[in-house]
A and B are shown apart, each in its own frame.
Chain A
């Protein structure tokens, strides 16, 4: 019709050359491929790691390697149980000490702190994450560990009847200090996640409790903490993943004793520490064993982190408004 040419002259109203569509297509497919590559990377990761670890697994068997209680470099015997237990002890300590403190800081910032104090405290806690792990190790070994030694000795003497804690002499690198430093290192992440979850508690829950005449702490106990339970657990698991994988700070603070359990205030070992310590000079079977340890470490952190993320997904999804009502979707989409 004439309107088309009157309006636009030579301009074709509704066509666009295929060439002009190219950037959009290229961008879309290029980025899709890139993202797929990320997934492929992870898989490749895994495969190569398994490959390098194979000799060790071949010699000791997968279960044998993982659960045998004998890590003896000189005799070329590699059972990772002492390492696993050591990892468990240090991470367990980190959780035991770190999570309650982290949750407490989260409660303080979201519920108790005066308005002006919130931001500074939050920033200070987050700065803890900015300190490099090697500096934590440095500070731990030269300041914290010596300072704590007398107290540790006191505890060990007083509780000498308690296995694992009591008796024995306290060494400077020991499980306890390593666990304590790890607790400090996981503080920021557990605190941040707890804070986020606590901030989503609906006001009515809290007001309902207060309206019943609950004290502030009771309100927190009744309305806030139960609501945040899965979120806090998820955050704690992320902290756990971090603690399990920390190599440098732990290496400097745990010593070099691949002995099962041992003593809380004595030297120990962990998966990550063994790798950091021994890899430099390892050859042949030893090296393969270290790769196997790395594989165990990798799988462990994948499991813990995966579970943590799932938990957190579920915790935050529960807070989203009900989707599915077409009316709501339409109105939300068009702002009508």
Chain B
């Protein structure tokens, strides 16, 4: 029986050289470090939002409109009521436009267009559309609906710009979910003697529903946070109104305008509004993820 010493010696030639081992350890440390680094900003942002934003929260913060008064320290600057309501209104309309159209296009891509070159083309362009800067969407609506018609800013025009932004996102996520519905289900339904449209509405869509709701909610969360498309379409206003045909305020635009103000109180309001906006978006994200868990598909 050999001593453990010579065993170790004999196996020693299989050992990983210390240099390689060190490299491995350094690399793994660097990767872990980078990951931690990536997570820090999120934590800092949340922390800072809470610190600076909670202070502004108060019942009147949510129930008063901004007064547009940014210069005089003594007068009240108001709250963000019109911004919150404006965001809800604009995004609701944008969703009402983009979701049905987006789902319809996704249904076509998966149920009817499969394999055709035309479908490939549409899919490619939809993918490309997801990369268009949001400010360009705003400008487009501006050109078509404001310059083109000589009319002025309006809430619904902001909604249209947001709808354009949401459309590719909705199409893409709906398409992914529809493709996850097993073909066996479609086949069974077809074999029972169902017309294709019935198969889609009664079998495919209900099965895909949770996944699609998730995708839609995430698209809405994205649209709610966008500023640039609204700058030149819905513009902004102080007062709450429920008329989408007029100027309309929104949280992102309100924040954007407040950030550059010299008055501290106004900047604090921006923090409070930012916290509100982030809470709304995180809530939507949370609900979306919870619904995704209930989905029967991957």
Contact = CB atoms under 8 A, between A and B. Distances in A.
Interface of A: 20-21, 23-24, 27-28, 31-32, 34-36, 38-39, 42, 45, 48-49, 51-52, 100-102, 104-105, 107-109, 112, 121, 123-125, 127-128, 130-139, 141-143, 184, 187, 191, 213, 215-218, 220-221, 238, 241-242, 244-248, 252, 272, 275-276, 279-280, 291, 294, 297-298, 301-302, 304-306, 308-309
A36 B112 CA distance: 14
Contacts of B274: 132, 134-135, 138
B92 interface: no
Contact of B140 (A49, A125, A141, A275): A49
Contacts of B121: 39
Nearest to A137: B259
A179 to B, nearest CB: 14
Interface string B24-61: 10011011101101110110110011001000000000
Can you list the 8 inter-chain pairs with the closest CB atoms, starting with the nearest?
Answer: A245-B133, A132-B225, A305-B131, A104-B34, A31-B108, A215-B24, A217-B27, A217-B24
Given A38-B126, A49-B139, A49-B143, A138 B28 contact: no
A138 B266 CA distance: 13
Interface string B204-248: 000000000000000001101111100110000000000000000
A297 B136 contact: yes
Given A35-B122, A143-B48, A135 B277 contact: yes
Given A27-B112, A244-B133, A247-B135, 18 more contacts: A23-B197, A24-B196, A31-B112, A34-B105, A38-B129, A39-B121, A39-B122, A105-B35, A105-B38, A108-B34, A130-B222, A133-B227, A133-B228, A134-B227, A139-B44, A213-B16, A245-B135, A305-B128
B277 A309 contact: no
Interface in B118-162: 118-119, 121-122, 124-136, 139-140, 143-144, 147-148
A248 B28 CA distance: 36
Interface residues of B, number: 83
A38 B143 contact: no
Nearest to A181: B41
Contacts of A38: 105, 122, 125-126, 129, 167
Contacts of B44: 139, 143
B80 interface: no
Nearest to B47: A143
- Consensus secondary structure, chain B interface: helix
Contacts of A32: 108, 112-113, 118
Given A124-B39, A248-B256, A276-B231, A34 B104 contact: yes
Nearest to A42: B125
Nearest to A28: B112
A21 B224 CA distance: 41
Contacts of A217: 23-24, 27-28
Interface stretch (B1-9, B67-75, B278-286): B278-286
Contacts of B105: 31, 34-35, 38
